[in-house]
A and B are shown apart, each in its own frame.
Chain A
Amino acid sequence: DSGVTQTPKHLITATGQRVTLRCSPRSGDLSVYWYQQSLDQGLQFLIQYYNGEERAKGNILERFSAQQFPDLHSELNLSSLELGDSALYFCASNLAGHSYEQYFGPGTRLTVT
């Protein structure tokens, strides 16, 4: 158990809908990262937040957004969902942006039908 929690574990929704994925980092970690794992694209970095502020952006679509709250939990919002958004979405955390390894949550499996 990495100490990072993600809810829900599974999510099934229809095209065009909007969903919110939630992540709670390890106790004491200030940075949260979001990744997408799909068959087509593999594991891709989406976005990073550090202590409530957006820190870095990767291959995140404009239809996707995220935020980190004062209690350091983070939410990833996916809107206007398409079939191709079906994937496993991971959250990871570490103490600060300059730390080495990132600790991953169990992921949220999103299925868009």
Chain B
Amino acid sequence: AQTVTQSQPEMSVQEAETVTLSCTYDTSESDYYLFWYKQPPSRQMILVIRQEAYKQQNATENRFSVNFQKAAKSFSLKISDSQLGDAAMYFCAYRSPYSGGGADGLTFGKGTHLIIQP
């Protein structure tokens, strides 16, 4: 079974600065999908960014980018120019490329609580 580890329960960053959230995962599969989801105080789960393991290029969505290191099984999220609205829980998630047997379900890390200091 795959596992996802987020080793930083909480991170704090000054507004307008850059912060990196860490995520490592354990899998024996060679192809898979990785995601970062944001959960603000409203509790809504919002997709931030996704990465396909077969793609070497790191995904980028506006101020959000990832550093995907496949050999190290690392998938960190960088938030540039942090804004007050970025304050939330951030979850790293893994999905198997296979179908059935629970493989389509996402495996989540425990989350990192991001605090933005004004």
Contact = CB atoms under 8 A, between A and B. Distances in A.
Task: Answer yes or no: are A and B bound together in one complex.
Answer: yes
Of the listed residues A35, A45, A90, the one surrounded by the most CB atoms of chain B closer than 10 A to its CB is A45
Given A106-B44, A107-B43, A100 B52 contact: yes
Interface string B96-118: 00011111111111110000000
B45 A31 contact: no
Interface of B: 33, 35, 37, 42-47, 50, 52, 91, 95, 99-111
B2 to A, nearest CB: 11
Contact of A101 (B35, B91, B105): B35
Residues of A in contact with B, size category: 20 to 34
A104 B104 contact: no
Interface of A is mostly: strand
12 contacts: A31-B104, A35-B106, A42-B110, A43-B108, A44-B108, A46-B105, A88-B43, A101-B35, A101-B47, A101-B50, A102-B47, A109-B43
